Amino acid sequence: MANPTRKLLALLYGCRNWLLKQQWFTSRLLPALPRSLRWTLRKLYFLPSDLIERLNSNRDELVPPRSSIFTGSVDDFRSSGEALVRRLADSGCLTPESKVLDIGSGMGRVAVALTSYRDGSGSYQGLDIVPSGIKWCSENITSKYPNYTFTLADIFNKEYNPGGRLKASEYRFPFGDETFDLAVLGSVFTHMLPEDMRHYIAEVARVLKRGGTCCASYNLLDAESLRTMKAGRGAFRFTRLGPHWVVDVNVPELAVAYEEDYARKLFEEHGLSCTIHHGWWSGRTDTSREPPWFLDQDDPDFRYFDQDYVLATKVERIGRRDELAPGATRTLW
């Protein structure tokens, strides 16, 4: 790709990344825009990059068009997924043989990263509420990797699927008990309200094997993140509605934060013993210092871990106070 083109794309992506760190943009301007306009502007913003890649014939066939990506990093689709997979593998939560459930699979970020990590072994099941994501992944990933499958959950979400027929709080994951070794939820609970989150945690606990792990990202609120957020150092400015805080009371699913003690209690109530690793979304500087999660600010992967992560291992069967499965550990990261 010609150098001027690279500079243009770098400017395009850099501008967006800067805006997403500004409270006036994420917590005032964006919520004030109608949903249809937000989604249209996002698509239009990335159309130039899609056109440039098409003209230069250098598009990665496992990376969706930038204008179609509706969540997460856009300019570093592959590398951000690979960074998460590396940390899951380094921590022992993920092996090449793992059966993985990716809840909120989006456009296949984790799935694509896993295809590079393992060579045909294990299995992967993606679950998402956005029809366009499921369609793209089925056509472009499952067609090449048959053990990677994607299922649409037609669940109502005011921001991501306003036409959905089902309630998240009543949706049963279409999988048997104790099926998966690892469940990943990237930026799912950052767009989900309490009743729905509680039900999803119960479903995760049901489908995880004993000793299996749930990796879920959050915007968590404790004394330090509240202090830095209120000082204007964070990417969002949330308003309290209860144990959950939102950016926009009219479309609360646009961005949601949870009080840390509340989130931890929900996991523990469902037999999931968790550790929490803080990211930098709130502007806090006391981010996680535990390897392999520790990242210096000059580490290329540092920018991918702005959200807080809950790592929870299933230590009991629902309704029983069993001990850990042989070989399982309570602290994974």
Same domain, 98 and 49: no
Structure tokens at 169: 């709080």
Tell me, what's the pLDDT at 257?
Answer: 98
Same domain, 63 and 81: no
In this structure, is residue 225 part of a structural domain? Answer: yes
Same domain, 155 and 212: yes
In which domain, by residue range, is 54 found?
3-68
- Count of Cβ atoms closer than 10 Å to residue 44 Cβ: 10
More confident residue, 225 or 73: 225
Q: Which residues pair with 246 in a beta bridge?
A: 239, 256
Same domain, 154 and 226: yes
Same domain, 104 and 9: no
More confident residue, 24 or 178: 178
Q: What is the mean pLDDT of residues 53-66?
A: 80
In this structure, is residue 297 part of a structural domain? Answer: yes
Same domain, 144 and 186: yes
Q: What is the mean pLDDT of residues 45-63?
A: 80
Looking at 47, 68, 89, which one is the last position of a domain? 68
Judged against a pLDDT cut of 90, whether residue 297 lies above it is answered with no
Tell me, what's the pLDDT at 298?
Answer: 73
User: How many independent structural domains does the chain possess?
Assistant: 2
Same domain, 29 and 159: no
Same domain, 181 and 218: yes
Q: 150-159, 206-215, 284-293: which range is least confident on average?
A: 284-293
Looking at 41, 68, 95, which one is the last position of a domain? 68
Same domain, 230 and 103: yes
Lookup result for tokens 């990335």: 46
Gap between the Cα atoms of 235 and 138, Å rounded: 33
The reported pTM is 0.87
pLDDT digits (tens, 9 = 90+) for 161-220: 999 999 999 999 999 999 999 999 999 999 999 999 999 999 999 999 999 999 999 999
Q: Is 277 exposed, middle or buried (0-12, 13-18, 19+ CB in 10 A)?
A: buried
Same domain, 83 and 22: no
Looking at 30, 45, 68, which one is the last position of a domain? 68
Same domain, 50 and 101: no
Tell me, what's the pLDDT at 153?
Answer: 97
In this structure, is residue 330 part of a structural domain? Answer: no
CATH number, domain of 250, equals 3.40.50.150
Q: What is the mean pLDDT of residues 214-242?
A: 94
In this structure, is residue 271 part of a structural domain? Answer: yes
In this structure, is residue 217 part of a structural domain? Answer: yes
Q: What does the H/E/C string look like for the chain? A: CCHHHHHHHHHHHHHHHHHCCCHHHHHHHHHHCCHHHHHHHHHHHHHHHHHHHHHHCCCCCCCCCHHHCCCCCCCCHHHHHHHHHHHHHHCCCCCCCCEEEEECCCCCHHHHHHHHHCCCCCEEEEEECCHHHHHHHHHHHHCCCCCEEEEECCECECCCECCCCECHHHCCCCCCCCCEEEEEECCCHHHCCHHHHHHHHHHHHHHEEEEEEEEEEECEECHHHHHHHHCCCCCCCCEECCCEEECCCCCHHHCEEEEHHHHHHHHHHCCEEEEEECCCCCCCCCCCCCCCCCCCCCCCCHHHCCCEEEEEEECCCCCCCCCCCCCCCCCCC
In this structure, is residue 39 part of a structural domain? Answer: yes
Same domain, 176 and 100: yes
Residue 130 pLDDT class (50, 70, 90 cuts): very high
In this structure, is residue 249 part of a structural domain? Answer: yes
Phi and psi dihedrals of 83, rounded to 5? -65, -40
In this structure, is residue 320 part of a structural domain? Answer: no
Residue 82's region, left for phi above 0, alpha for psi from -120 to 50, else beta, is: alpha
Lookup result for tokens 């036409």: 163
